Structure 1
């Protein structure tokens, strides 16, 4: 049994969107859809600081599925298409079971981490990108970050880990005190998104 999780160092993240691109390519995410996004904590626009010179502040938060230990989405799915894999702790989607009711999207407190394919998925390229063993994208299903489950099954790390130039991301088994993610969290102040929702996310933001 493993409980995979990720830590993201907000002080290192420079909002370059390399993780967004890596995710999109590795999982051949359909055109117009992003499983991970970079949000600016600062002014009213992306890459805009809050405050007035010289007292300004700005930081970046990369947002994707939080792979919660107590996921609200799983509780409301009427057909079991959204489920938490007990062997890895990863919250997954079974496209073949999904009936497109979007209850999981309504229940999830983290706005925008899921997408719904209203039409047959389209792509910028006329050939498939990314890993050969990803689940085929389908019409009328909900999708989201999978922690690159296909890579985890091969003993690799999620694609967003490999491309981060600032080395702001840490990955591993949260139940293993010697794992990279556990060591990153140890002794550091961190935040969970919307802790009051009681979902117990597996993504930690180091601040």
Structure 2
């Protein structure tokens, strides 16, 4: 999977998350499933918290080679929305960008074939997730780094299509095994598909699919 070109100015870097190891690991995880995508032709793809737009742009670049898909990117940060649009334009793909807090205005209609979430996962004091600095919202995860993602998890079963896949980036401190067990209660089965140790962090990408009876 090709890595998109991303250009962030010094001013943009003050409020927009710069692509890092977690971004690249998510792209690697998506590449592992490229054969599955080609077979199933995903129609609607969503990324929550797009940041620079590097991940959803990489997905769009890959999928346009063999299918027609619609790409939607969400972010609470208006600067991230603008940067993602710039990233998609630079790499010649079309991504619809909406400024939104998590999934507050998305209808529960089980329509998304791919959902991607690289949440704020760093363990912080609980109040740090309410910091008004936009750049802090990209990483401050509160208690166990889970306060933001735990808020979103119950929404996922209502958004995934029958063949849908949810990709989640977490670190060891977020207790990935506990997250897998939590999703089992939603009738969604998950697994760790790729992991990487970097300085100071142990990153995991979890992949979830609905249990079809």
**Interval containing the TM-score (normalised by the shorter chain):** under 0.3
Taking structure 1 as the reference length, the TM-score comes to 0.28
Greater relative contact order (Cα < 8 A, sep 6+): 1
Structure with a larger share of its residues in helix: 2
Taking structure 2 as the reference length, the TM-score comes to 0.27
